[in-house]
Amino acid sequence: MSSSNKSRLCASLLFITALVVGLISGCKMRGVSEQEKTDLGILLMKACWDSNAGLAELLIKDGADPNTTDENGVTALMLAASNPRGDNGHLVNILVLRGANVNTKDKEGQTAFKLAFDKGYLGAAWTLLHKGADPNTINDRGQTPVMVYAEKWNPNAGHLEPFLQRGVPINATDKEGRTALMIAAHSVRNDVAGVEAVAHLVAKGADINFQDNSGRTALMYAAESGRLEIVKLLLSKNPNVNAKDKEGKTALMIALERGSLSVGHSLAVAGADLEAADKNGKTAMQYFDEGTAKLREAIFQKAGR
């Protein structure tokens, strides 16, 4: 930022601060009118949008209503929970402690909790959850908070448990018919936390054989992503290894089509049918031939041959 821009920013902040101090001083001298409450509420929303927890607390102490809404029904809590500057768990906690309604909806039906978990803001979402937010809130894709975290953040068991303890259905499905287990198994990440999340969901009763709208299972999604450790974990729970999706593909076919030979080997050892055919009559071995050809071509391209 240039020195001139810094100067303008400082001047703007000083002006806003002076305005707030002047308004508060006037309120203290003669009491707070309804219009002044509204003005303080608007300033509170601005402070929350700017992630200014100190100013927000000062405004509330001096009469700002934390449940003031704008023309769209948006509250200060919603702005704090969905702030583009990042997770605002501390500011959210201040607002809730000062009386902000955690389940208020704007004109689009959005709550602060929905806005927070949809952005993956764990601190804000957990604070709202512990303060009474509805844990069964879903986003526009039909996803529960558990699904969102499984998709965006590859959570560990500690991230998931608070939601499960508060009644989020573990086998709930989104608009594509996918469960949280499928989403976690399909994540491109393959770290320890991801494996732990899948193990935790299974231990809590996630249905490993559930099929989504396309007929796919968690095992198929793990095979597609090449997540060997997830595949091994799911295989240890005795899933239907030969289940087929709506195209007639098994997890083995999906793995071999992707060139995931290590995953394919684990599935074959677990009893995957090598002779099974999809709806076009293509067998797992044919997928193996095509998959290895793609893998060989990719290796040659990388080697510059």
- Number of domain units in the chain: 3
Largest CA distance in the chain: 86
User: Residue 283 has what DSSP assignment?
Assistant: B
Q: Do 251 and 156 fall into the same domain? A: no
On the question of pLDDT at 242 being above 90, the answer is yes
Does residue 13 have a pLDDT over 60?
A: no
Under 8 Å between Cβ of 251 and 219: yes
For 204-225, what is the mean pLDDT?
A: 96
Residue 7 lies in a domain: no
* Residue at 80 is within a domain: yes
Mean of per-residue pLDDT scores for the chain:
83
Note whether 203 and 213 are same-domain residues. Answer: no
pLDDT in tens, 146-203: 888 777 665 666 677 777 888 888 999 999 999 999 999 997 665 666 788 899 899 9
What CATH number is attached to the domain comprising 244? 1.25.40.20
Give the whole-angstrom CA distance, residue 55 versus residue 48. 9
What pLDDT sits at residue 45? 92
Residue 302 lies in a domain: yes
Domain boundary among 185, 207, 229: 207
Supply the pLDDT for residue 190: 53
Confidence at residue 118, expressed as pLDDT on a 0 to 100 scale: 77
pLDDT of residue 305: 58
> Are 247 and 149 part of one and the same domain?
no
Better-scored residue on pLDDT, 138 or 26: 138
Do 151 and 65 fall into the same domain? Answer: no
As a whole number, mean pLDDT of residues 40-44 equals: 88
Choose the final residue of a domain: 134, 167, 193: 134
Q: What is the pTM of this model?
A: 0.74
The larger pLDDT score, comparing residue 66 to residue 31, is at 66
Instruction: Indicate whether 127 and 147 sit together in one domain.
Output: no
Please tell me whether residues 196 and 245 are part of one structural domain.
no
Residue 227 placed within a domain? yes
Q: What percent of the chain has pLDDT over 90?
A: 44
Q: Is the pLDDT of residue 295 over 80?
A: no
Same domain assignment for residues 263 and 231: yes
Domain range spanning residue 202? 136-207
Output the pLDDT for position 62: 81
pLDDT at 78: 95
Are residues 97 and 182 both part of a single domain? Answer: no
Asked if 22 and 6 count as a contact pair (C-beta separation under 8 A), the reply is no
pLDDT digits (tens, 9 = 90+) for 73-129: 999 999 999 887 776 888 999 999 999 999 999 998 889 998 887 777 878 888 898
Sequence-distant (6+) residues with CB within 8 A of 139 are: 114, 117, 118, 148
| 132-168 as b/e: b if 16+ CB within 10 A | ebbbebbbeeebbbbbbbbbebbbbbebbebbbeeeb
Looking at the structure, do residues 23 and 125 belong to the same domain, yes or no? yes
Question: Quick one: 250 and 295 in the same domain?
Answer: yes
The pLDDT value recorded for residue 40 is: 86
Q: Each residue of 219-233: pLDDT tens digit? A: 999 999 999 999 999
Last residue of one domain, picked from the residues 114, 134, 154: 134
Based on the fold, state whether residues 97 and 191 are members of the same structural domain.
no
In a domain? residue 72: yes
Same domain for 38 and 81, yes or no, is yes
Whether 280 shows a pLDDT value over 50: the answer reads yes
